[in-house]
Amino acid sequence: MSGATLRVRCPDCGGSAAREVSSYLSMSGGLRWCAETHCAACGFMLQDVDDELSEAERAAILAEEGLFALRFTPADGADVRVRSAVRQALSLTFAEVTALFRQCPQQPVTGVRAELDLIAARIRRAVPAAEPVVMPLP
């Protein structure tokens, strides 16, 4: 899964606090983000869980882990079940998913590794013969 540590302002003392963000799969199979903030100066601690990353958290994870791409074989790209799984995972319209697959592989789906791993797993669950690949971009 994905994770990173970033520095944030402590809400109690105003000092610098560490915020550790990591991903996990919920019991329902969705991707969740757990963030724990701790200030060494005053002892402030907070843990929260969310479905979405803030821009700063996403930037920290991308800086630490890099950008990843989800690539499809030509056969997977033509399979309507794969397209349906991607459409559902990314909440796309039919027109948007059609445009997305028209651009692949020249412009793959990109993002944080944990997000793309989950989409690839959903594709494999829907179409066991599918071979989506998550790989780091240079």
More confident residue, 67 or 76: 67
**Residue 57: pLDDT band by 50, 70, 90 thresholds?**
very high
Summary mean pLDDT of the chain: 91
pLDDT beyond 80 at 97: yes
Q: Which numeric CATH code is attached to 3-60?
A: 2.20.25
Q: Would you say the pTM of this structure is higher than 0.85?
A: no
More confident residue, 113 or 2: 113
Closest CA to 132 of 68, 69, 72: 72
pLDDT beyond 90 at 29: no
Closest CA to 76 of 108, 37, 52: 108
The sheet with strand 109-111 has its strands ordered as 109-111, 68-71, 133-136
Domain ranges in the chain?
A: 3-60, 68-136
Report the pLDDT averaged over residues 101-122: 88
**Domain 68-136 is of which CATH architecture?**
2-Layer Sandwich (3.30)
